[in-house]
Amino acid sequence: MTTYVQFNPSDAGPFRFTANINKQTFFITVPYNRYSNRYFVEFRDRNNNIAMYVPLIESPDDFDLNIALPFAPGSLVYRASTNNFEVN
């Protein structure tokens, strides 16, 4: 089952949501890095340990680029055309 999370960044702080990927719960934070002029995705586990920190990569409509590849077969995809994260 795919869960869609609308990406709504703001100046008040980084965008945050919780995702269940491959039966693991992750607290996702999407901070903006002004130096590199792009967003990043930070995965934290239940113990608040950083599990992964990667650049936000946009997936085209016809292909999924799994941001959470180390946690496969689960996936986290960012679709720029809809401005959504897709969690499987």
**pLDDT for 28-50, tens place per residue?**
999 999 999 999 999 999 999 99
pLDDT higher than threshold 90 for residue 73: yes
Residue 24's pLDDT band (cuts 50, 70, 90): very high
Kindly state the percentage of the chain with pLDDT values over 70: 100
Average pLDDT of the chain? Answer: 96
Terminal Cα-to-Cα distance of the chain (whole angstroms): 6
Dihedral of alpha carbons 9, 60, 68, 46, sign:
positive
Residues in the chain: 88
Residue 42, both tokens: 């930070």
Residues 54, 41, 82: CA angle, nearest 5 degrees: 115
pLDDT higher than threshold 90 for residue 55: yes
The answer to whether residues 36 and 23 touch, using CB atoms and an 8 Å cutoff, is: no
Rounded to two decimals, the pTM is 0.91
What average pLDDT score do residues 66-78 get? 96
Q: Give the pLDDT score at 1.
A: 84
> How many Cβ atoms sit within 10 Å of the Cβ of residue 45?
13
